[in-house]
Chain A
Amino acid sequence: MNRPPAVAIDFGTPDSPNSSSFEFEEVGYPDPYHQHQHQYDPESYGGRANEETLPLHYMSEEKARRRVRAGAAAGNGSDFDGGAAVSGNEKEQFEYQEYDDAGKDVYNKPKPYNGQRISSGRGPSQPLPPPTTITEFLLQNTEVIVPVVYTLLSCWTRFHRIGASNTVVWDEAHFGKFGSHYLKREFYFDVHPPLGKMLVGLAGLLSGYDGSFEFKSGEVYPDTVPYVAMRVMLATFGVLMVPLAWFTSVELGMSQWACHLTTLMVLLDVGWLCISRFILLDSMLLFFTFLTVFCLTRFHNEQFEPFSIDWWVWLFFTGISIGCVTSVKMIGLFVTALVGVYTVEDLWDKFGDTRLTVRQQFNHWAARVVCLIVVPVLVFMASFKIHFLILNHSGPGDSQMSSLFQANLEGNDFYKNPLDVAFGSRVTLKNMGWGGGLLHSHVQTYPVGSNQQQVTCYHYKDNNNEWNILPAWNDKQHDPEGPLRYLKDGDIIRLSHVPTGRNLHSHTVTAPVSKLNYEVSGYGNLTVGDNHDYWQVEIVDDTKRGSVGQVHSLTTRMRFKHVALGCYLRAANAVLPQWGFKQIEVSCDKENNRKDAHTYWNVESHWNDRLPAGDMKLYKSPFLRDFWHLNVAMMTSNNALIPDPDKEDILASKPFDWPFLHLGLRMCGWGDNQIKYYLMGTPVVWWGSTISLGVALLTFAVYILRWQRKYNDMDAREWDHFLYVGKIAFFGWAFHYVPFLIMGRVTYLHHYLPTLYFAVLMFGHVLDHFIFSSRRFSARTKAIVFGVLVSILVATFWWFSGVAFGIDGPVNEHWGLKWRETWNIYN
């Protein structure tokens, strides 16, 4: 089975008189780590002058840069006979002596120059002779024309009928509203990082929207909201997915046919199309995911010349792109993991390369640490910095943040709080742990434990957060007319919940979630109570004033010690089940851990008619503190988004439903007069790509078993290329899919959309491997297969395009859309 290669292959041996003509294909082949000689032989050009009669080959430069060999079909004169493009391990020495440049564009060869490299990129190219016919023009410029055509097609699909539905569709209700908050500069809270929503805000700003609309789900847009312009701007990200897919598959070294197919699948998938046409974050998430993969593959192709300008540029852009994708949605961490694994493998290879000096090794490591860790983190933090800078007014998300941060927001009146807290004051208490909320109670009772009234930590402002500071039962009762008694360190108090009159209480009942702690509940009323209602104030410090004797609002950090049990009032990030409305559990911690910020509380709002309004000058809240605080709060809320067994969420789906498109998702109301959007995919794309994953794994298994028996199915470079593309696609898919299986949170169909990209790349790769780059098939066969596949693709897209463009009229009149029993597309 040791089959000789059907065609001799070469990528430029220095001695060859036909030595390649381009800077970029010259470098790196024999030995990437040493300065190489440029051996141009002017004679050879002269000798080949009559080759001008050769057919002008399109895109020779691009092909050469990707080191495309001519396949068996080279003689057939097809434009598409690229054969397996090989990239990957450029360190291999080549044994092949002949160079196949049958398809070279001889005009495109630069004049030899003095051997000094100008830059690491492409060599200077000579102007082409003017094309004489249109065909010639097209062929000469295919490299530009193809992506331009795809971009234009993409514009049409993305923008066509984009304003057809004049109502708030699906999650536009959220993201439109968040965009409005940026325009109004009001602080809000959401589980997603801010970059995507800031771009929504920017789109609103550019289109002249004033932020006044509330984006209630299903509502009709008023004239003041330029929703079409906003949708178009955000859909532009979706438009750019298509050319990115083209360039990525080119960089991945797929054959022309496979590149076209991959791009067409991205262009014609109704899922990607549908999600890109609204005011949502997904188009940006997808765009940056695609961009990251593109940058990575581009960087990979620069690997033969480390530390060149291009190498740095693409490494750096990979980092920027990672930063952007994670700043749009945390899902971006999955593509980051792909880059991470690629880098680890790459560094492991470098580590084993004993020719590299220690200094070079170090530089490789340092470059990646800087570009792939430091840069993304900076981008991520920068997006939060801008977020804080824009949102400087008080808004609905205030209570998620520390009291100090809130006090710095415009429109907030904390600074008017009376400074000194006294008995009889009405206060709200803020937990000072990362992501801490306000001490809260409501009439609902615990269904477990003592069955007394619930006490929780809550992140929104509401009367149920208010507590009265009262003296202990056995102490002199509070007299509203008597002398003021200020709250001091060591005072024993009772906290009475203002709306319900219950006292903050703890007892030896285990807390519902943190089983090691005691439960905290609301017990008794204004007259009934016992000594388990007593809490001793322990002042930790005062962030502003040095003195710790007396409690001040906002700045004093204090702890509440339960007098009878000796435990401390604590709220960590444990979330109560549905009966507690997913609020944060408050418990009494038996361990006295003085360093535990989750037992620190401060007075946030403070009302006392008998005390003068304060006029505090406040410290700025440090950025890093706010940044971390907000991220912990985001994490906590995200973890609280678990499926609710009591409530059936008809939109949610399980990860197993996605790869074979078991379910679709109705994005809006389904009335006959509404324009209806149904989130699903083009079935052939989803099914085919999923099947291709299995095929790829099986193929890999067969090859590796045969390899163990020493069958040489491919030469080392083909094998490396097969693995490289396969790994990018497979690991990208797995990293974007497997976490959803493990995650506890509720999942939706659109979570599969970034994952799908990798499945589609795998589809392209598998088709490329078995058909388009295979030596077994003639160009004619390939053309037929290509034609059939494209027609199926276009036909299915056309069939289903309505679900993305909007279905008019009664849905049941649109025949033939229900390809699977489970699709709830019809009423």
Chain B
Amino acid sequence: MSSKGKLRQRNPQPEASTSNYEYDQVQEDEHHADIYTSPKSRSGIEKFFEGSQGSIIVVSALTALAFALRFYKISHPDQVVFDEVHFGKFAAYYITHQYYFDVHPPLAKMLFGLAGWFVGFDGSFLFENIGDSYITNNVPYVGMRALPAVLGSLTVPVVYAIMKESGFSTVIAAFSASLILFDNAHVAQSRLILLDAALIFFMSLTIYSYVKFRKYRYMEFTLEWWTWLLMTGFWMACTWASKVNGILTVFCVGVAVLFDLWDILDVRKEGHTMDYFYSHFLARAGGLILWPFIVYLSFFWIHFRVLTQSGPGDTFMSPAFQETLAGNELLMSSHDIYYYDILTFRHKDTKVFLHSHPDRYPLQYEDGRVSSQGQQVTGYGHNDTNNHWRIIPTKSLPETGRGRIVRNNDVVQLLHMPTNTLLLTHDVASPLMPTNQEFTTWARDDYTRHNDTLFKIQLAWDAPENEPFKSKSGYFKLIHVPTKVALWTHPKTLPDWAFKQQEINGNKNPSERSAIWYVEDIIADQYNDEPADRDEDQRPVKVPKSMNFFKKYIELQLLMFQHNAGLTASHPYASGPLNWPFMISGISFWTDNDTQKQIYLVGNIIGWWTCVVGLSVFVGIIAADLLARRRAMDPIPDSVRNRLWNNTGFFLIVWGVHYAPFFLMNRQLFIHHYLPSHLASALIAGSVLNFILSDTINYPISYATSKTRLRPSQYADTGFKGLATVLGYGLVLFMMFIYIAPLTYGTPGLTGEQVNSKRLLSTWTLHFAAKKTHDS
């Protein structure tokens, strides 16, 4: 409900214009002071650091330190830690070319695979359990861990560069960078085979590129402008392709672009034409939607090109997809099914066979409901002749040939071989679920219930009408013709009267995803013989089929979304988003009982709380400015305000967009999901420190052209107090880092008392804590 305020501003009020452009603002307020306009009047410290030499020295020192902290004892522990179980395994699959399935896009995992390949990893070790030794399995794990460590280290200079490009002084930029540099959580996360280091690195590059792009906004459609536009798109695509959370980076650039386009659309600004707007719009659509999407797709293309062999991911995919993988079971042993074949049916999710035996349902169940007392139909886990069913047609068939093949949507009857009865379901409640229908069988020669024995074979994956029904690959639902229920089972077992076998019933929701079955085996054909190699002729032998890349991609992407939403199981170290900024709880990555060593993911608590304070102060400044301007007061100089709103405001959007969506997610969440937002909050903290130390900024910082009107420039000057504050604070930060470091590096081992002393918040669930005395 904010448009009202905007509307009011339609009255011409030139001095209160909401323009975002720095150059058309006339500095007419009383804050304007000569001291800031001349670079010569700056303090000596400031002059030194603002020079390129000073800046290079600072950034080199920060980077060197970052490498040192991230590579220190990187070979420890020589065991599989936390999610290395997953990502190490995926890297191994790239090396062995086996197809796998994961909810995250492939880029970061491919990089790990590449790193492993470089250092000579053969992919034979599968990272099965946390704590498995790398040494005994001969895995060159250091090389693989070096990749995230390098990316994590390089994040520090990128953060520095973002702040420099945003017009903050060197010391302020160093402050923001040190919040990342000395952060235990960032360090711990970048030393292991995990995706987050790549995600955060690419995300910081996206921010950097976008800031650069905005600085070229007066040089529209020049080479530099295009370069940085495309760079933004490229890094954005890399972020998204590294981890599924990277889509948030795409959203936050999207939000910033919408603000930007909204300004361009404004006719008051130099009276742009609509053509001008369209060209800007199209440039961004191309550079920030189309181009990143191509980059993103190309990673999937490589993914499919590399993973050509059958592997653990096969069963997630559709039969058509599976047949593109070499050595896949469907490809190897899938046969057409003919009428009167004897088959065994298996449930896709619980792997039980469709089973029946001469025992009958008890007339009355424990809860007082009654049954039909028909023959039991159950789900049974083992092979048995009671699993054999013959498929009977309901239409006339030719004597021989392919006309006898069962096809999609055919209506059939299923004959239970040992008892010579037909499968039937009717409107009687099933033993365990009053809402679902009971399945039973009916004598073959009794035609009174003929209609209730009719079932439709409905192939999954929206198969075409005449698709043949095949063993193995023919995932299908068995829909009862008169009542439309689907043959369904669930892991609950029946009582002793059914030998604890699994209940089978009719699910009234025919779109139920777990109602899928397949034919495990063709036992015999109509003459009770072994089925002959009836379809060998039409299938080229064992050669993987090809499939359109886009079809593959769409199928995989949809599955990724579904499974990502499905990760709802609880985890002992999962935590709610509200805890994250305050570093309330960490994650135990790895422990070693003998030496009492442990890796516990926890941030540098001083750094994190500084970021929270920075965020609150920034929101406070923004709110105070809004309130003051609402009362027609104007406390902040225009250039400073514009910087706060447009630049730091962008950081706030980055923070918010990477944080808020987690509140809506039902999946399990961990503290490391906050790390991208933490990086954004470090940027905000730097800006706030600048605002507190000095009421100026470097201005202007955008690249001017002949068209732009030049305005008196200003220079930020934090002077000696800035340097002293940042140095002093950096020292405190470093000491806190060292204090928590044993938890980050997992070495040295700690005694119980030491663990207690490291447990700065009572909510940190560290291992090996000494028992507390309860006398206090």
Contact at A348–B630, with CB atoms within 8 Å?
yes
Partner of A648, one of B4, B5, B433, B762: B433
Contact at B631–A354, with CB atoms within 8 Å?
yes
Known: A345-B4, A716-B7, A720-B4. A710 touches B435 (CB 8 A): no
CB contacts under 8 Å to B, within A664-721, are 704-705, 707-710, 716, 719-720
Contact at B1–A566, with CB atoms within 8 Å?
no
Contact at B508–A650, with CB atoms within 8 Å?
yes
User: Which residues of chain A are within 8 angstroms of B267 by Cβ–Cβ distance?
Assistant: 708-710
User: Which residues of chain B are within 8 angstroms of A591 by Cβ–Cβ distance?
Assistant: 762
Contact at B664–A742, with CB atoms within 8 Å?
yes
Docked pose: A648 CA to B435 CA in angstroms? 7
A308 within 8 A of B: no
CB contacts under 8 Å to B, within A338-381, are 341-342, 345, 348-349, 351-352, 354
Per-position contact with B for A555-578: 1 when CB-CB < 8 Å, else 0? 000000100001000000000000
CB contacts under 8 Å to B, within A367-421, are none
Contact at B265–A352, with CB atoms within 8 Å?
no
Contact at A723–B572, with CB atoms within 8 Å?
no
B266 within 8 A of A: yes
A516 within 8 A of B: yes
Q: Which B-chain residue is minimally distant from A344 (CB atoms)?
A: B1
User: Which residues of chain B are within 8 angstroms of A705 by Cβ–Cβ distance?
Assistant: 265
Docked pose: A484 CA to B472 CA in angstroms? 74
User: Which residues of chain A are within 8 angstroms of B771 by Cβ–Cβ distance?
Assistant: 566
Closest CB in chain B relative to A117 CB, distance in Å? 29
Q: Which A-chain residue is minimally distant from B274 (CB atoms)?
A: A709
Docked pose: A678 CA to B42 CA in angstroms? 80
B135 within 8 A of A: no
Docked pose: A699 CA to B691 CA in angstroms? 41
A532 within 8 A of B: no
A543 within 8 A of B: no
Closest CB in chain A relative to B71 CB, distance in Å? 34
Closest CB in chain B relative to A592 CB, distance in Å? 6
Docked pose: A716 CA to B631 CA in angstroms? 22
Contact at A723–B4, with CB atoms within 8 Å?
yes
Docked pose: A510 CA to B765 CA in angstroms? 12
User: Which residues of chain B are within 8 angstroms of A510 by Cβ–Cβ distance?
Assistant: 572
Contact at A710–B268, with CB atoms within 8 Å?
yes
User: Which residues of chain B are within 8 angstroms of A592 by Cβ–Cβ distance?
Assistant: 774
Known: A345-B1, A354-B631, A354-B632. A720 touches B762 (CB 8 A): no
A215 within 8 A of B: no
User: Which residues of chain A are within 8 angstroms of B7 by Cβ–Cβ distance?
Assistant: 707, 716, 719-720
Contact at B435–A352, with CB atoms within 8 Å?
no
Number of A-B residue pairs, CB cutoff 8 Å, is 60
Per-position contact with B for A488-513: 1 when CB-CB < 8 Å, else 0? 00000000000000000000001000
User: Which residues of chain A are within 8 angstroms of B433 by Cβ–Cβ distance?
Assistant: 647-648
User: Which residues of chain A are within 8 angstroms of B268 by Cβ–Cβ distance?
Assistant: 710
Q: Which A-chain residue is minimally distant from B632 (CB atoms)?
A: A354
A620 within 8 A of B: no
Known: A709-B265, A709-B267. A351 touches B631 (CB 8 A): yes
Q: Which A-chain residue is minimally distant from B436 (CB atoms)?
A: A648
User: Which residues of chain A are within 8 angstroms of B630 by Cβ–Cβ distance?
Assistant: 348, 351-352
Per-position contact with A for B573-597: 1 when CB-CB < 8 Å, else 0? 0000000000000000000000000
Partner of B4, one of A341, A349, A566, A709: A349
Contact at A723–B508, with CB atoms within 8 Å?
no
Contact at B572–A727, with CB atoms within 8 Å?
no
Contact at A727–B436, with CB atoms within 8 Å?
no
User: Which residues of chain B are within 8 angstroms of A772 by Cβ–Cβ distance?
Assistant: none
A515 within 8 A of B: yes
User: Which residues of chain A are within 8 angstroms of B765 by Cβ–Cβ distance?
Assistant: 516
B3 within 8 A of A: yes
User: Which residues of chain A are within 8 angstroms of B772 by Cβ–Cβ distance?
Assistant: 566
Contact at B774–A566, with CB atoms within 8 Å?
yes
User: Which residues of chain B are within 8 angstroms of A744 by Cβ–Cβ distance?
Assistant: 666
CB contacts under 8 Å to A, within B639-673, are 664, 666
B527 within 8 A of A: no
Q: Which A-chain residue is minimally distant from B629 (CB atoms)?
A: A352
User: Which residues of chain B are within 8 angstroms of A704 by Cβ–Cβ distance?
Assistant: 3
- How many of B's residues come within 8 Å of A, CB to CB? 32
Docked pose: A720 CA to B1 CA in angstroms? 11
B447 within 8 A of A: no
A731 within 8 A of B: yes
Closest CB in chain B relative to A656 CB, distance in Å? 14
Q: Which B-chain residue is minimally distant from A724 (CB atoms)?
A: B4
Q: Which B-chain residue is minimally distant from A593 (CB atoms)?
A: B762
CB contacts under 8 Å to A, within B461-511, are 492, 508-509
Per-position contact with B for A315-333: 1 when CB-CB < 8 Å, else 0? 0000000000000000000
Q: Which B-chain residue is minimally distant from A650 (CB atoms)?
A: B435
Contact at B1–A341, with CB atoms within 8 Å?
yes
User: Which residues of chain B are within 8 angstroms of A345 by Cβ–Cβ distance?
Assistant: 1, 4
User: Which residues of chain A are within 8 angstroms of B274 by Cβ–Cβ distance?
Assistant: 709
Docked pose: A566 CA to B274 CA in angstroms? 74
Docked pose: A705 CA to B6 CA in angstroms? 13
Partner of B265, one of A515, A566, A708: A708
User: Which residues of chain A are within 8 angstroms of B5 by Cβ–Cβ distance?
Assistant: 348, 352
Interface centre among B3, B631, B632, B762 (most CB of A within 10 A): B3
Contact at B1–A727, with CB atoms within 8 Å?
yes
Docked pose: A366 CA to B4 CA in angstroms? 24
User: Which residues of chain A are within 8 angstroms of B762 by Cβ–Cβ distance?
Assistant: 591
Docked pose: A591 CA to B769 CA in angstroms? 14
Docked pose: A744 CA to B136 CA in angstroms? 47
Closest CB in chain B relative to A3 CB, distance in Å? 16
Closest CB in chain A relative to B181 CB, distance in Å? 32
Q: Which A-chain residue is minimally distant from B774 (CB atoms)?
A: A566
Docked pose: A650 CA to B508 CA in angstroms? 9
Partner of B3, one of A342, A650, A723: A723
Docked pose: A786 CA to B117 CA in angstroms? 73
Per-position contact with A for B1-30: 1 when CB-CB < 8 Å, else 0? 101110100100000000000000000000
User: Which residues of chain A are within 8 angstroms of B664 by Cβ–Cβ distance?
Assistant: 742
User: Which residues of chain B are within 8 angstroms of A352 by Cβ–Cβ distance?
Assistant: 5, 630-631
Docked pose: A720 CA to B7 CA in angstroms? 9
Contact at B627–A351, with CB atoms within 8 Å?
yes
Docked pose: A348 CA to B8 CA in angstroms? 13
Docked pose: A154 CA to B10 CA in angstroms? 46
Docked pose: A724 CA to B518 CA in angstroms? 58
User: Which residues of chain B are within 8 angstroms of A646 by Cβ–Cβ distance?
Assistant: 492
Closest CB in chain A relative to B159 CB, distance in Å? 34
Interface centre among B4, B274, B570 (most CB of A within 10 A): B4
Q: Which A-chain residue is minimally distant from B666 (CB atoms)?
A: A744
Q: Which A-chain residue is minimally distant from B264 (CB atoms)?
A: A708
Contact at A731–B1, with CB atoms within 8 Å?
yes
Docked pose: A349 CA to B1 CA in angstroms? 11
CB contacts under 8 Å to A, within B397-451, are 433, 435-436
Interface centre among A348, A349, A592 (most CB of B within 10 A): A348
Closest CB in chain A relative to B3 CB, distance in Å? 6
Q: Which B-chain residue is minimally distant from A516 (CB atoms)?
A: B765
Closest CB in chain A relative to B483 CB, distance in Å? 10
Q: Which B-chain residue is minimally distant from A731 (CB atoms)?
A: B1
Closest CB in chain A relative to B624 CB, distance in Å? 13
Known: A352-B631, A354-B632, A742-B664. A708 touches B266 (CB 8 A): yes
Closest 7 pairs between A and B when the two form their complex, measured CB to CB: A352-B630, A345-B1, A515-B572, A710-B267, A708-B265, A566-B774, A709-B267
CB pairs A–B below 8 angstroms (18 shown): A345-B4, A349-B4, A351-B630, A354-B631, A354-B632, A561-B774, A566-B771, A566-B772, A566-B774, A592-B774, A648-B436, A648-B508, A708-B266, A709-B267, A710-B267, A716-B10, A723-B3, A742-B664
Q: A352-B630, A707-B7 are in contact. List 16 more A-B contacts (CB 8 A).
A: A345-B4, A348-B630, A351-B630, A515-B572, A516-B763, A566-B772, A648-B433, A648-B435, A648-B508, A708-B262, A709-B265, A709-B274, A716-B7, A723-B3, A727-B1, A731-B1
List residues of B whose CB falls within 8 A of some A CB: 1, 3-5, 7, 10, 262, 265-268, 274, 433, 435-436, 492, 508-509, 570, 572, 627, 630-632, 664, 666, 762-763, 765, 771-772, 774
